Amino acid sequence: MGTRDSLIQVTDLKKHYHMGAIKALDGVTVDINRGDVMVVIGPSGSGKSTFLRSLNLLEEPTGGAIVFDGVDITKKKYKDAQGNMVKLDIDKLRQKMGMVFQHFNLFPHMTILENMALAPIKVKGMGKAEAEEKALTLLDRVGLKDRAGAYPIQLSGGQKQRVAIVRALAMEPEVMLFDEPTSALDPEMVGEVLDVMKGLAKEGMTMVVVTHEMGFAREVGNRVLFMADGMLLEQGTPDKIFGEPEHPRLKDFLAKVL
């Protein structure tokens, strides 16, 4: 497996509402290393999604730190290598973090190809021809090259999610965040999406996956986090989490879902 270097360090991450009456995240500390496939499990309302969405600041944390590529992204300003205070460029940051949503969130007024090429063209300044060629290569990889001219509504749920994954990949992110990517799918389509994710994991992509698919967590994940009540209660290898769970909440949770 080789040595792994740390990509994201999360320290004591907090997200409180209403003067702390609601604690969506209550002090989560974890290191995400390059090449990790980190699976986050837990009952609903446990803060898994909030944790994931905090990583690219779709949720603004109210406390703690997220250090990504050496910069604490929870601060609006930071010191650069020369010691100057610079404003955090959130758009730059998000380019390096691909995100896949439960409800796909494809752009319905654009074809699949336009969906894929938009960000590379507008954000990275790539030429249209190059962006489209790259998009077609990626679509080919998930077996959807022939649907490039279709609109999202013409695709099945599984196809939409495969497009959403490669749309994020088109920006060549350093880490991919998956927010319950199979929860809105019909059962027979879950497999095709998980297969794409497995392929990504094999290629060494760093992934953080919030999911209810315990089979995927076991088979593909190299680390599993168990969250409840906004806290990280237990973490370890899949064998350890599923084989010898320690925390009573985890034992209780596994008894219900397995």
Partner 1 sequence: MEQFIQLENFSKILPYAQLFKQGMLVTILLSLFTVVIGFCIALILALMRMSNVRPLRSLGLDQNGHLREGGFLAFVSKFNPLSFLATAYVEILRSTPVIVQIFIIYYGVFGLIKLPSFQMFGFIKFDRFFPGVVALGMNSGAYLCEIIRAGIQSIDGGQTEAARSLGLSQAQNLRYIILPQALKNILPAIANEFVVIIKESAITYTIGVQDIMSAVNAVKGATFVIVEPLLVATAVYFCLCFPTSKIIAYFERRMSHGDKR
Residues of the shown chain interacting with partner 1 in the complex, contacts defined by CB under 8 A: 16-20, 56, 58, 60-63, 74-77, 91-92, 94-95, 97-99, 101, 103, 105-110, 118-119, 122-124, 151-154, 164, 167-168, 171
Cβ of residue 239: shortest distance to partner 1, in angstroms? 32
Instruction: Name the residue nearer to partner 1 (CB basis): 7 or 97.
Output: 97
Angle, nearest 10°, between helix axes 157-169 and 187-202?
20
Instruction: Name the residue nearer to partner 1 (CB basis): 193 or 233.
Output: 193
Query: CA 55 → CA 23, 61, 118, 224, distances in Å?
Result: 17, 9, 23, 17
Q: Do 240 and 257 contact (CB within 8 A), yes or no?
A: no
Instruction: Name the residue nearer to partner 1 (CB basis): 109 or 256.
Output: 109
Q: Do 230 and 26 contact (CB within 8 A), yes or no?
A: yes
| Alpha carbons 216 and 218: distance in angstroms, whole number | 5
Instruction: Name the residue nearer to partner 1 (CB basis): 161 or 249.
Output: 161
| Residue written as token pair 């030429």 | 127
Cβ of residue 191: shortest distance to partner 1, in angstroms? 24
Q: Do 38 and 45 contact (CB within 8 A), yes or no?
A: no
Cβ of residue 182: shortest distance to partner 1, in angstroms? 16
The residue type of 234 is E
Q: Do 234 and 250 contact (CB within 8 A), yes or no?
A: yes
Cβ of residue 19: shortest distance to partner 1, in angstroms? 4
Cβ of residue 126: shortest distance to partner 1, in angstroms? 12
Instruction: Name the residue nearer to partner 1 (CB basis): 168 or 197.
Output: 168
